[in-house]
Amino acid sequence: MTRAGFAVLFVAAFALLSSHSAGGQTAKKEKDGKWETADGHPTYNIAGDGTVDWYTFSGFRRYHSECHVCHGPDGEGSSYAPGLMDSLKSMSYEDFMAVVASGREVVRADKQSKMPALGDNNNVMCYIDDIYVYLKARADGVLPRGRPAKRNDKPAAAEAHEKACFGEK
């Protein structure tokens, strides 16, 4: 077997493995503890023993600080605002970013609702990919409700991003 043939086989096996653990996602890659889909969008990684990557865990925490008071626990929705684990079944990463940053308003005779523009809220925007990958994992049905039991440690890259995002030295 040539080197190239081996590589192809290896990739195929990896894709099979990751599609199994990630609920139908296509091949993804990791850089500094952060996972990306083939088309460059952030995504989650959940190991066979349930250990989640740092960003998914961070998303769980940030969601339950910033989003939960309207959207309910675990992305499940509430009597007040829609369940984001359902929204993310069809919503693209770009649309998600746009609605979070710019907000959305529905004013009808039977309904008035308003998602606020969170674009200048660092507590949200510095962790927006984290929140996205957490909700995506919920939407894909691969992460159960509640606090993830096991997680990877915080990567140095996450620490650096946080500081830069908040304008700290």
Q: Residue 138: which H helix or E strand, with range?
A: helix 128-139
Backbone angles phi, psi at 64, to 5 degrees: -80, 0
Helix (H/G/I), strand (E/B), else coil: 43: strand
Helix (H/G/I), strand (E/B), else coil: 29: strand
For Cα atoms 100, 105, 110, give the angle at the middle one, nearest 5 degrees. 140
Give yes or no for a contact between 95 and 84, defined as CB atoms under 8 angstroms apart. no
Q: Does 115 bind another protein (CB under 8 A)?
A: yes
Helix (H/G/I), strand (E/B), else coil: 33: coil
Tell me, by CB under 8 A, how many residues bind another protein: 43
Stretch that binds another protein, among 9-17, 41-49, 71-79, 129-137 (CB under 8 A): 71-79
Closest CA to 114 of 81, 158, 77: 81
Closest CA to 55 of 142, 1, 135: 135
Q: Does 96 bind another protein (CB under 8 A)?
A: no
Binding mask 9-48 toward another protein (x if CB under 8 A, else -) reads ----------------------------------------
Q: Among 14, 26, 141, 144, which residue sits at the site for another protein (rule: CB under 8 A)?
A: 144
Q: How far is CA 116 from the centre of its chain?
A: 20
Q: Does 151 bind another protein (CB under 8 A)?
A: no
User: Whole-number minimum distance, CB 74 to another protein, in Å?
Assistant: 7
Q: Among 61, 82, 86, 157, which residue sits at the site for another protein (rule: CB under 8 A)?
A: 61
Smaller CB separation from another protein, 14 or 144: 144
| Six token digits for residue 82 | 């829609």
User: Whole-number minimum distance, CB 59 to another protein, in Å?
Assistant: 11
User: Whole-number minimum distance, CB 98 to another protein, in Å?
Assistant: 16
Using CB under 8 A as the criterion, which residues of the chain lie in contact with another protein when the complex forms? 50, 60-66, 68-70, 72-74, 76-81, 83, 103, 105, 107, 110-116, 118, 120-124, 144-147, 149, 166
